[in-house]
Amino acid sequence: MQILDGRLVAQETRAELKRKIHRFFEQNKQKPGLAVVLVGNNPASKIYVRQKIKAAEEVGISSEVFSFSGDVPTHELERKIQNLNRDSSVHAILVQLPLPSAFSSREVVSWIDPKKDPDCLTVENQGLAWSSQPRVLPCTPSGVMKLFEYYNIPLQGKKAVVVGRSQIVGLPMAQLLLRANATVTICHSHTKELSLFTKEADIIVVAAGRPGLLGGSDFKKEADVVDVGIHRTTEQGKSVLSGDVRFKEIQDQVSFATPVPGGVGPMTVAMLLENTFHLACLNTGKTNNA
Ligand code: GUN
pLDDT tens-digit readout, 157-202: 999 999 999 999 999 999 999 999 999 999 999 999 999 999 999 9
| Whole-number pLDDT of residue 289 | 55
Contact between 231 and 211 under an 8 Å Cβ cutoff? The reply is yes
Query: What single letter denotes the amino acid at residue 23?
Result: R
**Is the CB of residue 119 below 6 angstroms from any atom belonging to ligand 1?**
yes
Task: Write the CATH number of the domain with boundaries 29-113.
Answer: 3.40.50.10860
* Å from CA of 128 to ligand 1 middle: 20
- Looking at ligand 1, which residue's alpha carbon is closest to its atom 2? 97
Compute the distance between CA of residue 163 and CA of residue 169 in angstroms, rounded to an integer.
10
pLDDT tens-digit profile of 84-130? 999 999 999 999 999 999 999 999 999 999 999 999 999 999 999 99
pLDDT tens-digit profile of 38-65? 999 999 999 999 999 999 999 999 999 9
Same fold flag, 29-113 and 139-265: yes
Q: Which atom of ligand 1 is least distant from the CA of 140?
A: 6
| Whole-number pLDDT of residue 286 | 75
How much is the pTM? 0.97
What is the chain's mean pLDDT, rounded?
96
Q: Which of 42, 47, 103, 119 to mutate to test the pocket of ligand 1 (most atoms within 8 A of CB)?
A: 119
* Å from CA of 96 to ligand 1 middle: 5
For residue 232, list its beta bridge partners: 241
* Å from CA of 161 to ligand 1 middle: 22
Please give the average per-residue pLDDT across 68-73, as a whole number. Answer: 98
Angle value at C-alpha 247, between 243 and 252, nearest 5 degrees: 165
Q: Does domain 139-265 have CATH number 3.40.50.720?
A: yes
Domain residue spans in the chain? 29-113, 139-265
